[in-house]
Structure 1
Amino acid sequence: METGVEHAGQKRQVLLLCMFLGVSWAGAEPLRYSVAEETERGTFLANLANDLELGVGELSARACRIVSDQNIQFLLLSPLTGDLIVNEKLDREELCGPTDPCVLPFQLLLEKPFQIFRAELWVRDINDHSPVFLDREILLKILESTPPGEAILLERAQDSDVGVNSLSNYTINPNAYFHINVHDSGEGTIYPELILDEVLDREEVPELSLTLTALDGGSPPRSGTALVRILVLDINDNAPKFVQSLYEVQVPENSPVGSLVVTVSASDLDTGSNGEIVYAFFYATERILKTFEINSTSGDLHLRAELDYEATQTYTLTIQAKDGGGLSGKCTVVVQVTDINDNPPELLMSSLTSPIAENSPDTVVAVFRIRDRDSGNNGKMMCSIQDDLPFLLKPSVENFYTLVTEKPLDREWNADYNVTITVTDLGSPRLKSEHNIRVLVSDINDNAPTFTQTSYTLFIRENNSPALHIGSVSATDRDSGTNAQLTYSLLPPQDPHLPLDSLVSINADSGHLFALRSLDYEALRAFEFRVGATDAGSPALLSERDAAKHRLVVLVKDNGEPPMSATVTVHVLVVDGFSQPYLQLPEVAPDDAQADSLTVYLVIALASVSSLFLFSVLLFIAVRLCRRNSAASVNRFSVPEGHFPGHLVEVSGTGTLSQNYKYEVCLTRGSETSEFKFLKPILPSFQSHSPGSGTEENPNFRNDFGFSFQ
């Protein structure tokens, strides 16, 4: 038993992998669209129908829509024209910050049939921000003994734009003592350095004021300025120096507030106030000031707020050590935030179909997407449902999944299912989330009524009053609603001479039986009749159709003078499936004792009224073959059960319900031209009619179907 379950699981895994690889290949290359930020709402972007090589009407018919992780409706799709238009003004800085390029991924979801195309919206930067200095005034203290060529690092400006529109240059107003050198950090960030050109003399020039200008690369360029105040100091010939110029540390994102991150240390060879060191941030951003704090005396760096790896992975801090004489040294601290598994997987439901019709295979019940904001193994996910459900999860691209029926459902067996979709990541410890959906199964008319008893015995007292309630019959239908609403009726009597219509009646709704007249025991001691139950479905199902055997009567007549005729008894046997789709005519020696008849067995599949045509063709073939094998006398052939070689005519049938029927045909040899007509079926207890008498004695059995052949 365990081996079978394991094998079924492996088979399901192979199926899911094949489905995943197939859909992933179909959407390997994303569609790319570009738009400048601040573009007006309603601006035409592209025609999606042309890009997907689909007709305009096909987009609407296939229920195409846009899906994005950000849940921002930044694009709008017109299903009538296929135009993709901008739905709102986009602020690149708000959407992507310093990240360049700014790419907003989204998906184009076509539901009928299900198909996904990956797409990206690239938001181009425009020069809508000027460089800004956090401090409008920068105070510098420079010793008069500072030699020419000394470089003094200045505060850098900040520009929210990226690319060519970002910060590109610094200038300072012309003077005799300093010029600006632009220093590139190697990470795309530039810093201004103030370079000393001439020796300072505090007694001659105790203070200087310069204007520092930051320029971006836009066209036209934007700029921002800050005032640089330079105080010339007396000699303090030793500046603080850090033990390390670079500190690199890793901090887990779940570190509590107040945790020690690192301790920086600097020393100064001077004494007194010139050797006293104070630690501080050097022009830190607002984000750094909210996240970290430093002890000005010890150099301990602590957390001031919680870290979040998903928001920021790296912090770069510049710490300054300044002595009492105004000299300073600087170091860099790089804090790497390490990820922990603190985000459970998420499930985003795109569509859900409920109820679904029973007997509908491979039906899409739900379309959803899963995601996890963690990284590495913490962000890898598995998706599953309960093993005892008739559903399958099929993966698609971009972590999309479809929930489909594994096989046709049966409402009479189970009318609803509670499906729990479990998403688990591969982190340590593993986190999971569950999403419960209820799938209802709607009814179709696939069950015929069934009587609670196969026979009923009623005891009718003579000389009863008319309209006397004599009993009831009851049938049930496993369907629901109108498919289970039953109507009762009396079926034609087995004895054609029994005046059933004058003896009993039945209430079509309740199944109650009533005597229509006073009964006389001496005249009629017992009689039998049959009752049928029909449901109100479409198409309706007649419990009498399920009888194991039926008989039909066919009249065969030639054109001789006088015309010769014979009756044909057709026995209809219900056989399972299409197990014997053949007409067989084995060669058997004639039987003298049965010289007045010929028996032929036909096996045919009749699934709907349209199959009567097929039935007629087979009867035509049967009669021709019978006539060919007949001599001057009449022969009788019989065919036992099973498959035999001989004359074979393959048959097939189509329809809502497939059945096989077996027919016994009796024919009499006539002239070169023969004619036969279909008659209504007679009941199983009827005696076979003799040749030439069936039609005359039972004129009401004649049907509108008539055929003649040479």
Structure 2
Amino acid sequence: MSSITKRIPENASETLVALFSVLDQDSEDNGRMIFSIQDNLPFILKLTFKNFFTIVSEKALDRENQAEYNITITVTDLGTPRLKTKYNITVLNNSPTLHICSVSATDRDSGNNAQVTYSLLPPQDPHLPVASLVSINTDNGHLFALRSLDHEALQAFEFHVGATDRGSPALSSEALVHVLVLDTNDNSPFVLYPLQNGSAPCTELVPQAAEPGYLVTKVVAVDGDSGQNAWLSFQLLKATEPGLFSVWEDNGEVRTARLLSEHDAAKHRLLVLVKDNGEPPRSATATLHVLLVNGFFQPYLPLPEAVPAQSQADSLIVYLMVVLASVSLLFLFSVLLFVVVWLCRRSRAASVGHCSVP
């Protein structure tokens, strides 16, 4: 017999309470098992696959009406006598519930010979600190996890439980308990790109001639959970100009939604929501900066902070052009003067004529 207790939210509809399986290594009827729970409880025992069973709530529960239910799952084989040799237990990641299950053994003797005590047997793997994970009540076989179990650190482990009577000589048997730690949504998505560490924002450039569907960038994020808890979806929460950009839900690609025009702002800020598929879901946000440019060289519209620097550059260019023109004119005048003087001297040497130099 195995008893499992879980905490589930109030007013939830059909909710998974436990997932478990039991394996009997015997054959034929000796290996066939019967599963049952108590009657008159708002829970259903379902066969999912072969010897895998789930317990789900049949309807929404009211905490004010009843705050706690104790569900006992009885598993027996069809052999003679009916034996129980292995327990497969499923616990939720970081579950606050300390009670994992109960191991139960019966003895057909009477008196002290029928009194059974329970103990944890030394693990076969010396590197697995079972004693730091679980403990057992020697009188009733209850197993009280010593701490919450983290799926990211330990997905599964197993150990042996011994049952010994108080007869003389004492007789004993053992059972194998296999614990599977299910993942819960305890990690939020983490944005890898663009970086959200408070440093200088990365600006994406978009040419003015971009067609609708132009790939601007891609938001990249990961989730430390597994399974559906790690499935991520993306959504555009805010934008400087709604309708200009869109975000693909499945892969985080940011694309233009229409043609750009000269009336669009030059600078845009986008806020993207990254959400996982857990229950309840966890989320993170990513901020993107987009700049519209004419090609990939000149901004489509000049930014206000760039105007003073541009004015200074224009003044310097004008000054250099004036200086260069002045030097060129002075050089040309010097050359002309030299030619005129040389011609006059040549004429004076050839004749006594008069040469007037203006």
TM-score relative to the length of structure 2: 0.46
The structure whose Rg is larger is 1
TM-score by length of 1: 0.25
Q: Which has the higher contact order (CA 8 A, sep 6+)?
A: 2
